[in-house]
């Protein structure tokens, strides 16, 4: 007897229609990934041994990375000029 098809794919977590032969998300089927004991818990939480600090270090590197300098003086001047031009455009009678 073949095991029942899961409602949720145990490989990728996609919803599997009742009459589908394979998962529409990843293409896995009974021979390639579904089994009687494989069920997707819909949470996908990390293990208890998950080290958040190590994850941050691996993803973003050390704190000694180059930090952005911010907006340069040229762009501040452009922003002020654009603001003045908009003010003059919308309120021409005041100037």
CA distance 9 to 19: 14
Percent of the chain with pLDDT over 90: 14
Instruction: State yes or no: pLDDT of 71 exceeds 70.
Output: yes
Supply the DSSP symbol for 24. T
Supply the DSSP symbol for 10. T
pLDDT of residue 66: 61
Band of the pLDDT at 77, cuts 50, 70, 90? very high
CA distance 5 to 34: 8
**43-52 b/e with 16+ CB inside 10 Å = b?**
eeeeeeeeee
Higher-confidence residue of 70 and 87: namely 87
pTM exceeding 0.75: no
pLDDT of residue 26: 79
CA distance 50 to 41: 18
């Amino acid at each position: 007897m073949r095991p029942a098809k899961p409602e949720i794919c145990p490989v990728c977590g996609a919803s599997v229609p009742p009459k589908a032969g394979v998962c529409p998300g990843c293409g896995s089927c009974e021979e390639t990934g579904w089994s009687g004991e494989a069920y997707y818990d819909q949470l996908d939480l990390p293990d208890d041994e998950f080290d958040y600090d190590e994850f941050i270090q691996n993803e973003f590197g050390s704190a000694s990375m180059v930090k952005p300098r911010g907006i340069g003086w040229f762009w501040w001047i452009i922003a002020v000029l654009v603001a003045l031009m908009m003010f003059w455009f919308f309120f021409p009678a005041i100037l």
